């Protein structure tokens, strides 16, 4: 099915539902809606009746001032600062502190898309102005500028006709829910929208240099706005007399944007910001993008503006504004649809609303001048609906992957900043129980803006905006834009995280790794003795004393041998890799040997690998790469891509492999694949054999085993995780005999696969 057909087939039922939602929202605001519609209709009659009346410019000023004041009051009532804004605040903070434009000191990742805005916030921080307060003041000032400039541009392009000076575009924008919402938000949205309109106004004023400067500044505030910069260049090229001025229009690009781009490329090493890769901006996502446009077609009031806008576009087709909209609007809407839109209601619509509303006002003015009473009255009556603050998405709702984010991050106080969000509560708890106690753990978290900025703790962003590796990973399934790539347990371990809001280890170990901080649940990724001893004194921080737990632990109580090995693996990965505790290590090794007597003599490999200065040395390695001597035979669908160097499509990131490894997870049918991988016969020359195993914990379904003839000496499985862990086999008693390694996958269950790597034989030196 074609992209267009897909959009039509999925959009039709959605549109019907959205219309129902809009009608309900409009009914809740019946009185203001009726008032605005009637006011606009009456104004149309006055337009036509007194269209030749002498001009009174002061009326425009008074009406515009009223629209600006009303818009600011409404925006203030809707005030909010979203979590993403705090990401930029954190970059700005680190810049002011001398750490560079980074999220974590020492890690150059471009996790923001609003360079100019971030620099302005940094300037405020340098002057001692709170970042949230600075962002709200700048956004409110930008809203005032947008409304004022909309009124002035419509008046100037219409020649002041007719003489009843009501700035319809400014009034509609002031009441419009989408515009008013981004009158705060902490984001660059309103600031960048103002710069786009300034670029249009300066082009109309025949000031190409300033128009180009505004367009480039808009692009440096948000990269998507390059569409508008290019569209204005196209509009100017359409006018023969303006073509020579394109050189001046391009000067800011050459002398401002190009140096900026070269700097950011040398600083971060990527052509696009990291968020582009995190959101898979290079892929097409028209299905979701079409839904986003439909939602905003109603929420932003565009349906009410289109008739007059089209008329204004036709009547004022010779103006740069009309030509700009003619080029920019379809290009930008296709771009928005292509990337899947956004998860924030209306955010991507803000830069196009003012030019479209101005053209609609111009259409109404032109109709009034021509004496078309019915058309003007109906057009303006419908236009009035755009000024009614309605939305088709309810509070705290995520509808078709889109949310009215304002409802999640209301501002209770700007000085000091207090955002009504659970993430603000998380930040308060982490500050109170960790930072104030002198403890600075590294935290893994998805919505990392508020927590990251307020705590200043080192953060691993598991939603990928500020994480290079996750962002550049191949996307496996489309979902909510900007939330489709999630950090894995491997990312938490490789990021040296202490705890996170997601699990690093299998769910059945929750009782071992769960930690409550106040009312919030986290999952420990490593047990740092010093940190845990410090916070253990705080009654609001609750976790299992893992040292005491290990002292009481008895491996013999675990019936399946596979579970005993998983317990040993977790203790190694979770505790012994991060703490020097030889006495406890010896005790637990002895307990494990008591539970598994055949391990006697291999104690040095249990729960922690031998140190480099030990007398154990590798004497044989059975690997999977071309450089290995052994050859492997395969049968069945599993191991079809053998060997592999990374996880397969649809599989979480594999951690712990060294180079290529065996993997029975199939890139197309996943856990449903079955098959066998077998080594050629080899001689056992060591006293101990170690290997790394991951995948499911199915001793009879997915396993690796050591065989001599028909006898199975040892068998191992994973632990329902892609984190590969060491297994230890004592081979001293069979040294000199010929054996084979067989990796079997006979399972179709979830986690019905296995990964194997790094099979090494060891012998004591000397």
Q: What are phi and psi of 472, to 5 degrees?
A: -85, 5
Tokens (6 digits) for 505: 């280890």
Interval 236-295: pLDDT, tens: 999 999 999 999 999 999 999 999 999 999 999 999 999 999 999 999 999 999 999 999
**In angstroms, rounded to a whole number, what is the distance separating the alpha carbons of residues 599 and 277?**
48
Average pLDDT estimate for 745-757: 94
Average pLDDT estimate for 86-98: 98
Tokens (6 digits) for 26: 């409009």
pLDDT attached to residue 372: 76
Q: What are phi and psi of 276, to 5 degrees?
A: -60, -45
Please say if the pLDDT value at position 722 is more than 90: yes
Residue 91: which residues within 8 A CB-CB, separation 6 or more? Answer: 101, 102, 103, 111, 112, 118, 122
**In angstroms, rounded to a whole number, what is the distance separating the alpha carbons of residues 589 and 568?**
9
pLDDT attached to residue 424: 96
**In angstroms, rounded to a whole number, what is the distance separating the alpha carbons of residues 566 and 573?**
10
pLDDT attached to residue 45: 64
Q: Is 426 helix (H, G, I), strand (E, B) or coil?
A: helix
Percent of the chain with pLDDT over 90: 79
Q: What is the mean pLDDT of the chain?
A: 92
Average pLDDT estimate for 361-376: 81
**In angstroms, rounded to a whole number, what is the distance separating the alpha carbons of residues 98 and 93?**
9
Residue among 369, 533, 505 nearest 444 (CA): 505
Position with higher pLDDT, 57 vs 706: 706
Residue 268: enclosing H or E segment and its boundaries? helix 258-268
Taking the whole predicted model, whether its pTM rises above 0.75 is answered as yes
Interval 412-468: pLDDT, tens: 988 888 999 999 999 999 999 999 999 999 999 999 999 999 999 999 999 999 999
pLDDT attached to residue 152: 93
Q: Do β-strands 443-445 and 499-500 pair in parallel, antiparallel, or remain unpaired?
A: parallel
Interval 136-163: pLDDT, tens: 999 999 999 999 999 999 999 988 776 5
- Of 383-392, 439-448, 600-609, give the lowest mean pLDDT range: 383-392
Give the Cβ contact number of residue 262 at 10 Å. Answer: 10
Please say if the pLDDT value at position 5 is more than 70: no
**In angstroms, rounded to a whole number, what is the distance separating the alpha carbons of residues 405 and 80?**
9
H helix runs in 78-204, sequence order: 83-96, 115-126, 131-158, 168-175, 177-181, 189-204
Position with higher pLDDT, 659 vs 450: 450
pLDDT attached to residue 390: 87
Q: Please report how the helices 30-49 and 168-175 are oriented relative to each other, as an axis angle in degrees rounded to 10.
A: 170
Q: Is 499 helix (H, G, I), strand (E, B) or coil?
A: strand
Position with higher pLDDT, 369 vs 392: 392
- Of 88-92, 189-193, 239-243, give the lowest mean pLDDT range: 239-243
Average pLDDT estimate for 584-602: 95
Whether 51 and 161 have beta carbons less than 8 Å apart is answered as yes
Look up tokens 């409304």; give the residue: 147
On the 0-12 / 13-18 / 19+ scale of CB atoms within 10 A, 44 is buried
pLDDT attached to residue 244: 93
Percent of the chain with pLDDT over 70: 94
**In angstroms, rounded to a whole number, what is the distance separating the alpha carbons of residues 77 and 68?**
14
Domains, in order of start, for the chain: 3-51+63-399 (no CATH), 421-544 (no CATH), 611-764 (2.60.120)
Please say if the pLDDT value at position 53 is more than 60: no
pLDDT attached to residue 8: 53
Interval 491-529: pLDDT, tens: 999 999 999 999 999 999 999 999 999 999 999 999 999
Interval 231-248: pLDDT, tens: 999 999 999 999 999 999
Average pLDDT estimate for 328-333: 97
Whether 277 and 472 have beta carbons less than 8 Å apart is answered as yes
**In angstroms, rounded to a whole number, what is the distance separating the alpha carbons of residues 23 and 30?**
10
On the 0-12 / 13-18 / 19+ scale of CB atoms within 10 A, 722 is buried
Length, in residues, of the chain: 766
pLDDT attached to residue 374: 73
Interval 27-52: pLDDT, tens: 887 777 666 666 776 666 666 555 55
Question: Rounded to a whole number, what is the largest CA-CA distance in the chain?
Answer: 110
pLDDT attached to residue 1: 44
Residue 330: which residues within 8 A CB-CB, separation 6 or more? Answer: none
Please say if the pLDDT value at position 96 is more than 70: yes
Name residue 692's beta-bridge partners: 726, 757
Interval 541-578: pLDDT, tens: 999 999 999 999 999 887 789 999 999 999 999 999 99
Residue among 406, 480, 400, 405 nearest 18 (CA): 400
Interval 627-643: pLDDT, tens: 554 588 999 999 877 88
| DSSP assignments along 28-80, one per residue | HTHHHHHHHHHHHHHHHHHHHHTTTSPP-HHHHHHHHHHHHHHHHHHHHHT-B
pLDDT attached to residue 416: 86
């Amino acid at each position: 099915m074609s992209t267009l057909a897909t959009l039509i087939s999925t959009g039709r039922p959605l549109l019907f539902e959205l219309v129902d939602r809009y009608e309900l929202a409009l009914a809740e605001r019946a009185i203001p809606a009726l008032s605005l519609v009637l006011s606009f209709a009456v104004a149309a009659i006055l337009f036509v009746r007194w269209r030749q009346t002498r001009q009174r410019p002061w009326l425009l000023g008074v009406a515009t001032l009223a629209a600006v004041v009303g818009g600011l009051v409404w925006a203030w009532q809707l005030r909010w600062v979203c979590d993403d804004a705090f990401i930029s605040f954190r970059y700005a903070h680190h810049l002011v502190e001398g750490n560079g434009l980074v999220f974590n000191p020492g890690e150059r990742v471009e996790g923001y898309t609003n360079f100019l805005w971030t620099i302005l916030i940094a300037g405020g921080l340098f002057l001692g102005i709170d970042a949230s307060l600075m962002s709200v003041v700048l956004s409110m000032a930008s809203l005032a500028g947008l409304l004022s400039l909309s009124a002035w541009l419509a008046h100037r392009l219409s020649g002041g006709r007719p003489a009843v000076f009501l700035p319809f575009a400014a009034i509609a924008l002031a009441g419009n829910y989408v515009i008013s919402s981004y009158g705060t938000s902490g984001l660059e949205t309103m600031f960048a929208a103002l710069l786009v309109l300034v670029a249009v106004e300066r082009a109309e004023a025949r000031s190409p240099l300033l128009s180009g400067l505004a367009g480039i500044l808009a692009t440096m505030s948000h990269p998507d706005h390059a569409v508008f910069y290019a569209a204005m260049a196209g509009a100017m090229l359409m006018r023969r007399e303006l073509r020579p001025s394109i050189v001046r229009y391009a000067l800011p690009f050459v002398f401002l944007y190009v140096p900026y781009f070269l700097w950011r490329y040398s600083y971060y090493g990527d052509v696009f910001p990291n968020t582009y890769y995190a959101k898979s901006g290079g892929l097409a996502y028209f299905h979701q993008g079409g839904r986003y446009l439909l939602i905003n077609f109603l929420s932003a009031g565009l349906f009410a503006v289109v008739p007059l806008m089209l008329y204004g576009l036709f009547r004022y087709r010779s103006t740069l504004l009309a030509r700009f909209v003619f080029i920019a609007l379809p290009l930008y809407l296709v771009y928005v649809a292509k990337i899947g839109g956004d998860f924030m209601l209306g955010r991507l619509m803000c830069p196009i609303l003012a030019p479209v509303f101005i053209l609609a006002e111009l259409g109404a003015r032109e109709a009034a001048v021509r004496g078309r009473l019915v058309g003007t009255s109906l057009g303006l009556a419908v236009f009035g609906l755009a000024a009614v603050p309605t939305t088709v998405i309810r509070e705290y709702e995520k509808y078709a992957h889109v949310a009215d984010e304002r409802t999640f991050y209301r501002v209770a106080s700007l000085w000091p900043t207090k955002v009504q969000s659970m993430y603000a509560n998380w930040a308060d708890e982490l500050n109170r129980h960790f930072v104030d106690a002198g403890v600075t753990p590294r935290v893994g978290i998805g919505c990392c803006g508020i927590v990251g900025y307020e705590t200043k703790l080192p953060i691993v962003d598991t939603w990928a905006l500020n994480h290079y590796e996750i962002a550049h990973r191949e996307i496996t399934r489309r979902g909510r834009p900007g939330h489709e790539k999630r950090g894995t347990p491997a990312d938490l371990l490789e990021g040296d995280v202490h705890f996170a809001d997601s699990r690093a280890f299998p769910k059945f170990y929750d009782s071992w790794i769960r930690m409550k901080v106040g009312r919030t649940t986290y999952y420990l990724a490593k047990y740092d003795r010093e940190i845990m001893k410090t916070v253990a004194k705080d009654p609001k921080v609750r976790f299992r004393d893992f040292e005491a737990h290990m002292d009481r632990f008895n491996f013999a109580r675990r019936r399946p041998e596979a579970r005993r090995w998983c317990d040993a693996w977790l203790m190694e990965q979770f505790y012994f890799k991060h703490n020097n505790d030889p006495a406890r290590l010896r005790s637990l090794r002895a307990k494990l040997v008591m539970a598994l007597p055949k391990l006697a003599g291999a104690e040095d490999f249990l729960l922690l690998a031998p140190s480099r200065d030990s007398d154990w040395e590798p004497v044989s390695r059975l690997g999977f790469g071309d450089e290995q001597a052994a050859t492997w035979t395969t049968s069945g669908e599993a191991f079809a891509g053998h060997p592999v160097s990374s996880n397969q499509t649809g599989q979480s990131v594999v951690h712990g492999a060294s180079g290529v490894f065996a993997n029975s997870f199939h890139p197309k049918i996943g856990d449903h694949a079955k098959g066998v991988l077998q080594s050629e016969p080899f001689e056992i020359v060591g006293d101990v054999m170690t290997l790394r195993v991951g995948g499911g914990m199915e001793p009879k379904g997915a396993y690796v085993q050591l065989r001599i003839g028909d006898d199975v000496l040892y068998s191992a499985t994973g632990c329902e995780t892609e984190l590969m862990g060491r297994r230890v086999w004592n081979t001293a008693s069979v040294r000199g005999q010929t054996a084979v390694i067989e990796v079997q996958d006979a399972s179709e269950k979830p986690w019905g696969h296995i990964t194997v790597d790094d099979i090494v034989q060891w012998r004591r030196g000397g």
